């Protein structure tokens, strides 16, 4: 049985973590299937937006600790760094529909999303210190989203927090009651489908690259990017549609 399920409808690919028995832990098998799904999404021009969600009560329980030997060495290869970095490298926009608890490495998976909505009573937490570990790789994704004081408290104490707390800290965009989750996610998706595919990919590049650039380098790079976009077929269609008071062709 597949650990990761996919469904494409109207330009939206829903990717579901479906290893309920193992609480969607990041096992070697699940990570491999998820990377395969991400590769397929990147290669398919029919995919405009990817929604990552879960079946069961747990979005992701982090690393699969059963894949460790008695002395702590991995007995199965899990390339979590490759997995986490794929989301920012992808030209597609990823929306997290976090319909369950999310701890440890699962926090990194949630933070890797471009946009995310969680149920407000889901349990979140950097629980690594309670296992004699540290939130090492996921700190690369989570720390830029958090105030230093919030990060220190959450990561050092290792306590659980609610989805509402995770939203307040910037780890997810919204936290809502479970019966509102689909409406909010669908609203995000509808707004994303109204944007040009190339424009969304360029905006993702801005969000990931500009913050780390020296100011003048950022101005030079963004000026070129802007000029290239203005000359693109997509922008010409978008501006023409605006002047003609109609929807652009990518918006159906």
pLDDT digits (tens, 9 = 90+) for 100-111: 999 999 999 999
Residues 136 and 211 in one domain: no
Query: 3-class SS at 173?
Result: coil
pLDDT-derived band at 33, boundaries 50, 70, 90: very high
**Phi and psi at residue 220, in whole multiples of 5°?**
-65, -45
Domain of 48, CATH number, reads 3.90.226.10
130-146 pLDDT tens trace: 999 999 999 999 999 99
Residues 64 and 181 in one domain: yes
At residue 20, does pLDDT exceed 90? yes
Residues 89 and 174 in one domain: yes
pLDDT-derived band at 189, boundaries 50, 70, 90: very high
38-86 pLDDT tens trace: 999 999 999 999 999 999 999 999 999 888 766 677 666 778 889 999 9
Residues 105 and 187 in one domain: yes
234 contact partners, CB below 8 Å, separation of at least 6: 196, 197, 198, 199, 250
Known catalytic membership, residue 21: no
Residues 21 and 121 in one domain: yes
At residue 26, does pLDDT exceed 80? yes
Residues 164 and 85 in one domain: yes
199-245 pLDDT tens trace: 999 999 999 999 999 999 999 999 999 999 999 999 999 999 999 99
148-157 pLDDT tens trace: 999 999 999 9
Boundary-marking domain end, from 161, 193, 225: 193
Residues 49 and 162 in one domain: yes
Please state the separation of Cα 119 from the chain's center in Å. 16
Active-site pick, 5, 33, 128, 234: 128
Q: For position 124, what pLDDT does the model report?
A: 98
Burial environment of residue 22 by CB neighbours within 10 A (0 to 12, 13 to 18, 19 or more): middle
Q: For position 173, what pLDDT does the model report?
A: 98
At residue 127, does pLDDT exceed 70? yes
Query: Among 88, 45, 52, 93, which Cα is nearest to 190's?
Result: 93
Residues 145 and 201 in one domain: no
Residues 212 and 246 in one domain: yes
Residues 148 and 240 in one domain: no
| Token pair belonging to 223 | 């000026």
Q: For position 66, what pLDDT does the model report?
A: 87
Q: For position 88, what pLDDT does the model report?
A: 92
Domain of 209, CATH number, reads 1.10.12.10
Q: For position 28, what pLDDT does the model report?
A: 93
| Token pair belonging to 109 | 């998976």
Domains contained in the chain, number: 2
pLDDT mean across residues, the chain: 95
Residues 110 and 214 in one domain: no
Residues 213 and 166 in one domain: no
Domain that includes residue 216, residue range: 197-251
The pTM of this model reads 0.94
């Amino acid at each position: 049985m597949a650990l990761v399920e996919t469904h494409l409808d109207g330009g939206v690919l829903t990717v579901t973590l479906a290893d309920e028995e193992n609480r969607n832990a990041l096992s070697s098998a699940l990570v491999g299937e998820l990377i395969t799904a991400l590769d397929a999404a990147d290669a398919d021009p029919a995919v405009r937006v990817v929604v990552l969600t879960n079946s069961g009560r747990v979005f992701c329980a982090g690393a699969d600790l059963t894949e460790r030997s008695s002395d702590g060495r991995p007995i199965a290869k899990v390339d979590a760094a490759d997995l986490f970095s794929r989301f920012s490298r992808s030209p597609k926009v990823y929306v997290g529909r976090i319909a369950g608890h999310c701890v440890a490495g699962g926090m990194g998976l949630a933070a890797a999303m471009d946009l995310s909505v969680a149920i407000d009573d889901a349990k979140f937490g950097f629980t690594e210190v309670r296992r004699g570990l540290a939130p090492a790789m996921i700190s690369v994704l989570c720390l830029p989203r958090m105030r230093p004081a919030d990060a220190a408290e959450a990561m050092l104490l290792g306590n659980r927090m609610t989805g509402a707390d995770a939203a307040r800290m910037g780890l997810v965009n919204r936290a809502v009651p479970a019966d509102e989750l689909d409406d909010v996610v669908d609203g995000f998706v509808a707004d994303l489908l109204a944007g040009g595919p190339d424009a969304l990919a360029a905006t993702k590049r801005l969000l990931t690259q500009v913050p780390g650039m020296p100011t003048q380098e950022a101005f030079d790079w963004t000026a070129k990017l802007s000029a290239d976009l203005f000359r693109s077929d997509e922008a010409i269609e978008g501006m023409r549609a605006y002047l003609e008071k109609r929807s652009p062709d990518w918006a159906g």
